[in-house]
Amino acid sequence: MPHRSRISAYVLDCKVEDLAEATRFWSAALGRAIASADQDGDGKYAELATDADEPFLLLQRVDHEARIHLDIETDDLDAEVARLEALGATRVAFVKRWWVMQAPTGHRFCVVRKQRPEFGSHLNHWD
């Protein structure tokens, strides 16, 4: 099924009690303002400022070891997950409204619905 996708976000998985300190550190380290200190009101997600044509920079409070992962956004979640499975990725879990996937290399990543009104440049078209 034809659909589109692109890198949506770089997510810093932070194994911390309080995400605020991590958000302040990464804001200063990357020279990015804090766009949202508590994105969902649960203390689990924060966002640093990015331009409209850049991937989001998100911080996520997690229980597993600290790492960074990619989010891939798409206009057809089922088609993109199926495409990635055909390449060797596996589904790990459906969370809220996205799929956590694992690449054949062992890396975890997420496939999410379209995040911004316009896809803009840096877009892949899949048939």
Q: Where do the DSSP E strands lie in the chain?
A: 3-14, 34-36, 45-48, 56-61, 67-74, 90-95, 98-102, 108-113, 124-126
Q: Domain spanning 3-117: which superfamily?
A: 2,3-Dihydroxybiphenyl 1,2-Dioxygenase, domain 1 (3.10.180.10)
Predicted local confidence at residue 120, as pLDDT: 67
What's the pTM?
0.80
Q: Mean pLDDT across the stretch 78-91? A: 96
Q: pLDDT digits over 94-104, tens only?
A: 999 999 999 98
Distance from C-alpha of 16 to C-alpha of 31, rounded to nearest angstrom = 21
